[in-house]
Amino acid sequence: MKRSMRIGCGAGFQGDRFEPAVVLASQGGLDWLMLECLAERTIALATLQRVRDPEAGYDPLLDRRLRTLLPELKKNGVRLITNMGAANPLAAGRRVAALARELGLDMQVAVVSGDEVSRHLHPGIAVMETGAPVTEVPAIVSANAYLGAESLLPAIQTGADIIIGGRIADPSLAVAPIMHHFGWRLDDWDLLARATVIGHLLECAGQVTGGYFADPGKKDVPGLAHLGFPFAAVDADGSAFISKVPGSGGLVTLATVKEQLLYEVTDPAAYITPDVVADFTGVRLTDLGGDRVHVTGGRGLPRTPTYKASIGYRAGWLGEGEISYAGANARARAELAAAVLRERLEDELPQVRYDLIGINAAHRSDFGANIEPYEVRVRVAGLCVTRAEAERIGWELESLGTNGPAGGGGFRRSATERIGVVSALLPRNLVHTDVTVFGAHIDADSPTMAET
């Protein structure tokens, strides 16, 4: 039986901290490091960048994130797997190969492409949210299928040091290396489900080591300013323990692992990925102490016959404005400001919402607290068809400075284009993925290619 393997997660979103990945690569005793940097909307924005520049459209932080990381990966023999290719994995691969050369590192890069599926959309495919034909979605800018381990394994099998793709299901970034290490098959459903549990626990990085968790006096977390990111030490039966590098901030306890296990999960008995339908209700957690939690159990059902695709479209312009009131009668002045704005905007822009930050903005309710805060911030926002309408919202807010209640200050306004995202299910046979290898000893202009 093969020895256990260790995989860490060095980023849980595009803008995540840089240094925890370096700590993991240098001190984590890892075999693999995953970097999850792609949210639903990110790939649509990246697609728009690629339209403007054919060599753009990959993660804008790629250089900064990898420059300090690559030497540590090479030195410690850690392989990297990431979705930082975003809307242009091939350009990302070329860039990383060039970066490795620049750093004097002999490292090969394998790129997984083929998640771009916009050419396969047809009226027979329905939008999951509405049931309408996907071809009726206005102003589509991107369509990407969530690829799974099956598409990643051929890239891993090239032996490349770095695997880069675009839209990949987050847990699959862990499932594929674990499968490869232990030689599991694509229909080892229970094992794939356990690897999916591990990938799911890791994919948000600091969210399993004490991030998005602290509640002072109830759930205290030491060292949040230097939160350590997680790794899993995985055994051949798919069980693992989750931990972090000793001396780093944060904590790994039953509570942090439970919160992350259920994070963004709809039905815990049927967590659907491209690899498997995983049942989390049989997962057993044991606190081993010392920031180690053992994870075992979890069952799998066969994968679905479809890939989920995210479809990005131009959804309009979001106009926002904010202004603050403080001191005596702050709430009444803020409410008056909101009422004035409503009177001026509601005929033409009835969709605009009026929030009082400090009272009812985040929860759209104060659950009867009815407090009189020392300061209140008025927020006005609406999704508009045109940029001019969106800008109007901020201008009306700003005009309160000289035309509104007493003591209004701290104006902010913005108008930004929004990319909406809807989902659809695509038959698997529509999606074909490729692997392209770039490396220090291979001419980047004549890559080797293998169809998977």
Binding site residues, another protein, CB under 8 A: 40-41, 129, 212-213, 215, 218-219, 255, 258-269, 280-285, 297, 315-316, 318, 320, 351-353, 355, 357, 361-365, 367, 379, 381-383, 418-423
Closest CB to another protein among residues 66, 393: 393
CA 321 to chain centre: 27
> Contact 261/269 with Cβ under 8 angstroms?
no
Q: 10 Å Cβ neighbour count for 219?
A: 14
Closest CB to another protein among residues 46, 352: 352
**In the complex, least distance from residue 98 CB atom to another protein, rounded to whole angstroms:** 33
**In the complex, least distance from residue 240 CB atom to another protein, rounded to whole angstroms:** 16
Closest CB to another protein among residues 367, 402: 367
**In the complex, least distance from residue 138 CB atom to another protein, rounded to whole angstroms:** 13
**In the complex, least distance from residue 177 CB atom to another protein, rounded to whole angstroms:** 25
Question: Which of 349-368 are b and which e, b meaning 16 or more Cβ less than 10 Å from the residue's Cβ?
Answer: beebebbbbbbebeeeeeee
Closest CB to another protein among residues 357, 444: 357
> Contact 291/197 with Cβ under 8 angstroms?
no
Give strand pairing partners of 126: 133
Q: What is the largest CA-CA distance in the chain?
A: 76
Closest CB to another protein among residues 216, 246: 216
**In the complex, least distance from residue 64 CB atom to another protein, rounded to whole angstroms:** 25
Closest CB to another protein among residues 64, 284: 284
Which ranges of 28-61 would DSSP assign to H, the alpha helix? 42-52
Question: Which of 272-289 are b and which e, b meaning 16 or more Cβ less than 10 Å from the residue's Cβ?
Answer: bbbbbbbbbeebebeeee
Closest CB to another protein among residues 80, 208: 208
DSSP code string of 341-393: HHHHHTTT-TT-EEEEETTTSSSSS-TT-----SEEEEEEEEEESSHHHHHHH
**Which pair of tokens denotes residue 36?**
């999850």
Long-range contact set of residues 261-266: C-beta below 8 Å, sequence gap at least 24 = 261/197, 261/200, 261/201, 261/285, 263/200, 263/204, 263/207, 265/200
Closest CB to another protein among residues 253, 433: 253
Give strand pairing partners of 436: 111, 449
**In the complex, least distance from residue 353 CB atom to another protein, rounded to whole angstroms:** 6
**Which pair of tokens denotes residue 174?**
């862990």
Collapsing DSSP to helix, strand or coil, 10 comes out as strand
Closest CB to another protein among residues 111, 381: 381
**Which pair of tokens denotes residue 22?**
């370096």
**In the complex, least distance from residue 5 CB atom to another protein, rounded to whole angstroms:** 25
**In the complex, least distance from residue 212 CB atom to another protein, rounded to whole angstroms:** 7
| Burial class for 416, CB neighbours closer than 10 Å (0-12, 13-18, 19+) | exposed
Closest CB to another protein among residues 75, 284: 284
